[in-house]
Amino acid sequence: MLRIAVPNKGALAEDATTMLTEAGYLPARESRKLSRTDPDNDVEFFFLRPRDIAVYVGEGIVDVGITGRDMLLDSGADADELTALGFGLSTFHYAGPAGQFGSVSQLDGKRIATSYPGLVRADLERNGVDARIVGLDGAVEIAIQLGVADAIADVVETGSTLRSAGLEIFGGPLMSSEGILIGRHGVPRTPAVDVLVRRLESVIVARSYVLIDFDCPVALLDEASKVTPGFESPTVSPLHDPSWVAVRSMVARDQSNKTMDALYALGARAILVTSIHACRM
Ligand SMILES: Nc1ncnc2c1ncn2[C@@H]1O[C@H](COP(=O)(O)OP(=O)(O)OP(=O)(O)O)[C@@H](O)[C@H]1O
Ligand SMILES: O=P(O)(O)OC[C@H]1O[C@H](OP(=O)(O)OP(=O)(O)O)[C@H](O)[C@@H]1O
Ligand SMILES: [Mg+2]
């Protein structure tokens, strides 16, 4: 059985479960249970704290897990990113009271509150800054007001938590993060892991692309194919009227209206966009 660790709470938990469900697995947690089997897929799910998942994977206790890239890096666990999952997008930043800090070098001799000490220590070393790290479990944005730190380093998504604490970011982002699938370093990918990765990547494709169908005068087919080149090349089918063809292609979901406008302006008609329920690329 493939053993998969899934966040049991926090920012990644719901999206990870939804994505695995769309990929055909049964990861929904039953009441307060910390594990469940999915016999049809020969998988066992473990519901763990996202921070601990890198540790369990790195120690080889579970085969793979879903966590944040920032948490993997922070943990220093012996695990690698297998694929990025496109949810839980965030950046990691230093922040301080508005107007007080301009660059990382100004952190020299200061106290920095964070829940990600490994990540921050590595960044400070890279920048040659000697600062004291104050390790906190969460709600670090209030640490300056409470007098335990001079600056913080934390996850930023919308920035609203920082703003409401009167803080602003300074220096560049330490990293960009998102939910990722991780596996133990140096362990060859088994066929079951390959299937999992392919299924998850297919969910991302099905979410990011749509199918576009349209009727096109044969004389315009080359031009239309440039608008919708698809992955390999568009599918072209004959119509009863020999001067027209039907064309089908994949286009990026967020470009679908622009693509329809361009095709219409070119002379294509009966332009239809449909969602992709599932795929294997
Ligand atoms: N507001 C957010 N938006 C997007 N991603 C986030 C957000 N907060 C945290 N994350 C990401 O989610 C992952 C797990 O963080 P999360 O906050 O869920 O864990 P935690 O702090 O241990 O749990 P909790 O906040 O429930 O105590 C990290 O990779 C982090 O970057
Ligand atoms: O930029 P924003 O959209 O405001 O999101 C960022 C906030 O979200 C997370 O907090 P979380 O809810 O996980 O609480 P925690 O700090 O206690 O972990 C993170 O630690 C930031 O505080
Ligand atoms: Mg959190």
When pLDDT is averaged across residues 239-247 and rounded to a whole number, the result is 98
State whether the beta carbon of 138 lies less than 6 angstroms from ligand 2: yes
Kindly tell me if the per-residue pLDDT of 17 is higher than 90.
yes
Number of domains in the chain: 3
**Ligand 1 mutation target, pool 12, 75, 115, most atoms within 8 A of CB:** 12
Length of the chain: 281
**In the prediction, which pLDDT does 70 show?**
98
CA-to-CA separations, 171 to 61, 70, 138, 241, in angstroms, rounded: 38, 18, 22, 63
How much is the ipTM here? 0.97
Q: How far apart are CA 107 and CA 137, in angstroms?
A: 21
CATH assignment at residue 102: 3.40.190.10
Clarify whether residues 99 and 145 are in a common domain: yes
Clarify whether residues 128 and 193 are in a common domain: no
Clarify whether residues 232 and 96 are in a common domain: no
Q: Is the pTM of this model over 0.90?
A: yes
Domain limits at 254?
A: 209-275
Residue 280 within a domain: no
pLDDT tens per residue, range 158-185: 999 999 999 999 999 999 999 999 999 9
CATH assignment at residue 229: 3.30.70.120
Clarify whether residues 82 and 181 are in a common domain: yes
CB 123 within 8 A of CB 74: no
pLDDT tens per residue, range 175-222: 999 999 999 999 999 999 999 999 999 999 999 999 999 999 999 999
When pLDDT is averaged across residues 135-150 and rounded to a whole number, the result is 97
Clarify whether residues 269 and 131 are in a common domain: no
Clarify whether residues 268 and 134 are in a common domain: no
**In the prediction, which pLDDT does 30 show?**
86
Which atom of ligand 1 approaches the CA of 179 most closely? 29
Could you list the beta-strand ranges (E) of 85-228. Answer: 90-97, 111-114, 132-135, 151-156, 167-177, 179-184, 209-217
3-state secondary structure of 32: coil
Clarify whether residues 107 and 61 are in a common domain: no
**In the prediction, which pLDDT does 185 show?**
98
Q: How far apart are CA 22 and CA 29, in angstroms?
A: 15
Clarify whether residues 12 and 133 are in a common domain: no
| Packing angle, helices 191-208 and 13-22, rounded to 10 | 100
Q: How far apart are CA 265 and CA 112, in angstroms?
A: 57
Clarify whether residues 195 and 153 are in a common domain: no
Q: Which of 137, 166, 179 is nearest to 154 (CA)?
A: 137
**In the prediction, which pLDDT does 281 show?**
86
Residue 221 within a domain: yes
Residue 281 within a domain: no
Residue 215 within a domain: yes
pLDDT tens per residue, range 66-97: 999 999 999 999 999 999 999 999 999 999 99
Q: What residues line ligand 1, using a CB cutoff of 6 Å?
A: 9-12, 49-51, 68, 70-71, 88, 90, 138, 155, 157, 177
Q: Chain-wide mean pLDDT for the chain?
A: 97
CA-to-CA separations, 139 to 96, 106, 144, 145, in angstroms, rounded: 14, 23, 11, 12
Q: How far apart are CA 190 and CA 12, in angstroms?
A: 25
Clarify whether residues 188 and 158 are in a common domain: no
Clarify whether residues 6 and 84 are in a common domain: yes
Residue 151 within a domain: yes
CB 175 within 8 A of CB 114: no
